[in-house]
Amino acid sequence: MSAQLDKIVIEPQSPATSCVIWLHGLGDSGAGFAPVVPVLGLNSQHSIRFIFPHAPEQAVTINGGFVMRSWYDIKSMDLHDRADIQGVMASEQAIRKLIVDQINSGIPAEKIVLAGFSQGGVMSLFTGLRFEQKLAGIMALSCYLPGGETLPEQLADANMHTPIFQNHGEQDDVVPMFAGKMAHDALIAAGYQSVWKTYPMAHSVLPNQLIDIGQWLQQAFK
């Protein structure tokens, strides 16, 4: 995997003092979520930089080996063996570089939110929970943990109390809601500060959900 991910960057009107790194799902690209920024209901004077990276292209086993943008290979539908952990860790390194680049640009870690949808949400949880500096928040939409009900290894104490926002669709037939709830229960059992919210939708996002996300982001950056 390339150490440098291609990305779409949306700058605020005023100089950026905080940042959201938003990871897309399987087969999508950063362009899939970039249009959500204007519909988050943020104050027009906000100073949040939004970064929408593109996952690398690779073969995906459950899709017959078809090459598409993917953060890791999906080997089976079994939640305990779905994510190729080697691929997860390779993507983690590329995502960590995005975070470090923002820190080096002057935005402190505690002003960075790591967000993601589906595969991207898996990566936001995995990377955020293991990152050694405190983040502003972790957002995990319509996703699961790579280990099912098991948290990643080598968790970082720095993000033990970082706000986590988990959303899931009640009619999701791609990532069943129980998979997201399993992740939430594991986080709560381990003492993490995770909020769980469901919506009457499939594997997607809704306009009112995006408003909720915008409000959560503004709270995370206070």
Pick the catalytic residue: 54, 203, 204, 212?
203
Please say if 18 is a catalytic residue.
Answer: no
Distance between CA atoms of 203 and 56, rounded to whole angstroms? 22
Cβ atoms of residues 138 and 126 within 8 Å: no
**The pairing of beta strand 57-60 with beta strand 164-169:** unpaired
Q: What is the DSSP letter of 200?
A: S
Pick the catalytic residue: 47, 168, 172, 194?
172
The tokens for 95 are 């995502």
Please say if 105 is a catalytic residue.
Answer: no
Pick the catalytic residue: 118, 124, 142, 194?
118
Please say if 91 is a catalytic residue.
Answer: no
Q: Distance between alpha carbon 20 and the CA centroid of its chain, in Å?
A: 10
Q: Which of 71, 84, 42 is nearest to 211 (CA)?
A: 42
Q: Active-site positions? A: 118, 172, 203
